[in-house]
Chains A and B, each alone.
Chain A
């Protein structure tokens, strides 16, 4: 079964509104979670690294005030897309790792499709 759960799997929102996506680790405590964005027919692009109890680290070109990340507990990270615009429509995927671990223990969620109309 899934060890990382994302919710919602699909969401449609109006332009200008905010939408929150949750990423939960189900079987382990995730000190670090990662948020990726994937446009159609393109690869996953890392947006930010979310660390429990501290501020997220954003990749170059990602607006931290637009994509708010909160990692308040060891099993939950949230991504809030604020003032969403149609160009924010994309597939958002999170991954989680129990800590300093090797690559075979990185778990991905099922992704969340965001459509901004």
Chain B
């Protein structure tokens, strides 16, 4: 079993739709949870960062963490064609080790105009 599981998709939605992306994990020691966006043949770009359980909102993006269920989500509201990319969840352990990230497989999202 992988430490972090993420449905690879692809996920195709019409412009304006609400997108829900999810990851599950097995290691209860993970404390930091991140979502990255990666365009084709580019390095990943940090979208959201959360610590421990709860919600965090930034513009059209909302990140949720449920540590009791070992489940994290990223919601994209009013999705745009420019949101078409691969979305990777990532996790790390304690603050002294936060540079070492464990990534999910990534979900490919296509937003159709």
Contacts from A to B (Cβ < 8 Å): 4, 6, 32, 34, 36, 41-46, 49, 91, 93, 95-97, 100-104, 106, 108-111, 113
Contact = CB atoms under 8 A, between A and B. Distances in A.
Contacts of A44: 44, 88, 101, 103
Interface stretch (B11-19, B67-75, B76-84, B91-99): B91-99
Contacts of A100: 95-96, 98
Given A43-B88, A44-B101, A108-B43, 8 more contacts: A44-B44, A44-B88, A102-B32, A103-B92, A103-B101, A106-B46, A108-B46, A110-B42
Contacts, number: 73
B43 A103 contact: no
Contact of B99 (A42, A43, A106, A111): A106
Nearest to A112: B43
A102 B105 contact: no
Interface of B: 6, 8, 32-34, 36, 41-46, 49, 51, 88, 92, 95-96, 98-106
B46 A111 contact: no
B34 A103 contact: yes
Contacts of A104: 34, 46, 49
Contacts of B106: 42-43
Given A43-B105, A102-B49, A104-B49, A32 B43 contact: no
Contacts of B43: 4, 6, 93, 108-111
B93 to A, nearest CB: 11
Nearest to A99: B99
Contacts of B44: 44, 93, 108
A97 B99 contact: yes
A59 to B, nearest CB: 9
A95 B49 contact: no
A56 to B, nearest CB: 12
B98 A106 contact: yes
Nearest to B31: A103
Nearest to B91: A103
A95 B88 contact: no
